[in-house]
Amino acid sequence: MIEHTLRGNALVLRLAAPNRNALTLELLEALGAAIDNAKSNPQVSKVVLLGSPEHFSSGADLGLVRAVETAEQAIELSDRFQKAFQRIEESPKPVIAAMGGMVLGGALELALACHGRVAADNCRFRMPEVTLGIVPGAGGTQRLPRLIGAHAALEMLLSGRTIDAAKALAMGLVDRVCPPAELLEAALAWEPPRPLRRSTRLQPAPAPPDGVAPAEALLARTPPEVVAPRLIFEAIKTGLEESVEAGLACERRAFAQSLASAAAQNRIYLFFASRQTSKVPEVEGVSVAPVRSAAVVGVGTMGANIAQALAQAGLDVTAVDQDPAALDRARQRIASSLDRRVARGQLAPPAAEAIFQRIRLTHRWSDLGGCDLVVEAVYEDPAVKQAVFQRLEPLVGPQAVLASNTSAISLDLLAAGLTHPERLVAMHFFHPAHHMPLVEVAYRPQSAPQAIATALHVARILGKTPVLVRNCPGFLVDRLFIPYVKEAFALLEDGAPPEAVDRAMVTFGFPMGPFALIDMTGLDILIASDRQISAAYPWHGPMPPVAFRLVEEGRLGQKTHAGVYEYSEGDPTARPSPVTARILAEVQGRHGHAHQPPADDEIVQRLVLRMVNEAYYALGDGIARSASDVDVATVLGIGFPDYRGGVLRYARQCGPDVVFRRLECLAQRHGTRFRPSPFLQQEARNAPGC
């Protein structure tokens, strides 16, 4: 758990614990005992804490947090971490944290309790607790503002963003940065100033006059269900205005209060659920085909983004398209995307250049030979996709995995005519593919286990969360998303302005409303997808006429600078459209919709329950392996608010019987598209009290 080595007069304590040196209670005890032994050992004048080159520590073991059942247990857990780190801070002999790789949450709180911090230049620091809906509970709200100032501390604690070693040095979070190979020697050589700097005794730098203004603005935008940001702010304020002791007590209470919130419980549920999506018993132990090079066929917006994602993961990529203009646009699109990442400080210029050089854009199909994975990303036309697969199959090796980026077209259609259809799967990326964290991996009963396992593996090396689904029209995400959008258009025909619909869903917790999202992805793509899958799901009902009217007038979304909203060249800001207003007035007049526009509550209920009902259909059909997979997919793929836990967890927290009754009422008012699914009916009958 902890390896002890004496280097001259320095005791080197190397963390060697499971799960990337996760901090458990046992590890805290062992660390405390080692520090105590160092105090009484006359041969030791300093202690150096070291992790692995990749990870100093991943922070507190989330299993401890997950096991907490009462506020008293939460306060006790926070108290144990606080006291363990106070034990380090109070050591009369200096304790130096030598950090490489990732330093997350509780690990950074541990480093803050040390008297000095030396970081390798590959170090990345992050306080991610707020993204789980909880307050750091090991002294971070008190030490961090005293070390780097309240303004910088609030930015780190409230955003959960990662900072690199150079920025950490500039802001005073670390004392020295060195190459990874020199980390231990640099820590051994570093002499902390005397008297020892103990973070809880430092006087924080005065905050600038507007130092807390960004934090207050963020708190104003935070949903009331998400309590952690406000509690973090209060803990820092208490510690700075009263005392460290009062601040630590406030932090313990805040940790307990935040952990008990539904938002935290839902986010922790999703954290663990997202780590289970790729653990598929049917392919466990199946060897994964080696993937060193990949190809993308079709370099439109999606294809170019997929090529970039593959190259960012270190793969050599061949991107093929017959259209020279498409190749030029893809080259410019990828270069611009990488330039933006460099400008934002997310990527070093040499790394961006290396990614760009790994992508070979070509019109020659013969260049596909030797690729281990081919992702087809051409237009959603079954005949075109079939022709692509039949042309590329003989060009690649016998072990190469063939993947389609489709979601609307059945894999059975695409497999027809292939010599080895068993190696065909779908890898459905989401727009923009180099950024969105989800990949749907769809399979047929005839799909080879190795092809499935390889697709899951590739999604993981891309840094994405794969969700495995059984082949069906629309797979999982589009199957839920399309009825949601159909209902949004139905609300327009019932008199709701698009701005009101989007605003209601953003207030509910979505990052953007349905119309802003559709304008981004394209109305033509929506209608084409619905055309492919609607026959399989007659209860979805037809696409409302207003969507077709917009497309007929060439309003396809941001790409034509006009969709539901208006857009300026190069500016994605949505503006109300008089053309859309005219089309809506015509459609509403034709259908006689002159009643009161739907209120926000009705908007939310109709949209969310359409998605809930379809999720129950998909679960009952066996398309998804579990309810938690559905929840992960809806959060990562559609933007369902994570603090509500995903579409099915939200429904189950409302109560299946309650959801069933609401759907029945909506079905009476609006038609059979709201009729509850058989699986929901069964769950409602089995609900407690029914």
Mean pLDDT, 10 residues at a time, over the chain (690 residues)?
A: 93 91 95 94 96 90 95 98 96 96 96 97 96 97 94 94 95 96 95 85 66 78 94 95 95 98 98 94 89 96 96 97 96 96 89 97 94 95 94 92 94 94 97 92 96 96 97 96 98 95 98 96 93 93 95 95 94 94 87 76 98 98 97 98 98 97 97 97 83
Distance, CA of 640 to CA of 138 (rounded, Å) = 31
Check 59, 100, 101, 106 and give the catalytic one.
106
Amino acid 527: pLDDT? 95
Distance, CA of 118 to CA of 127 (rounded, Å) = 18
Alpha-carbon separation of residue 400 from 206, 467, 575 (angstroms): 60, 21, 46
Closest CA to 447 of 422, 474, 465: 422
CB 634 within 8 A of CB 611: yes
Q: Is 60 a catalytic residue?
A: yes
CB 378 within 8 A of CB 405: no
Q: Is 225 a catalytic residue?
A: no
Amino acid 99: pLDDT? 97
Amino acid 171: pLDDT? 94
Q: Is 251 a catalytic residue?
A: no
Distance, CA of 48 to CA of 50 (rounded, Å) = 6
Check 74, 111, 129, 304 and give the catalytic one.
129
Rg of the chain on CA atoms, in Å = 28
Amino acid 209: pLDDT? 53
Residue 12 Ramachandran class (φ > 0 left, ψ -120 to 50 alpha, else beta): beta
Amino acid 662: pLDDT? 98
Q: Name the DSSP class of 60.
A: B
Amino acid 353: pLDDT? 97
Q: Is 106 a catalytic residue?
A: yes
Closest CA to 606 of 676, 511, 670, 544: 670
Check 84, 107, 109, 111 and give the catalytic one.
109
SS3 state at 687:
coil
The residue to which tokens 């899958």 are assigned: 533
Residue 597: partners with Cβ closer than 8 Å, 6 or more residues away: 494, 495, 496, 497, 500
SS3 state at 116:
strand
**Domains within the chain, CATH numbers bracketed:** 2-260 (3.90.226.10), 281-473 (3.40.50.720), 478-622+655-685 (1.10.1040.50)
Amino acid 594: pLDDT? 54
Residue 198: partners with Cβ closer than 8 Å, 6 or more residues away: 89, 90, 115
CB 519 within 8 A of CB 374: no
Check 38, 60, 186, 618 and give the catalytic one.
60
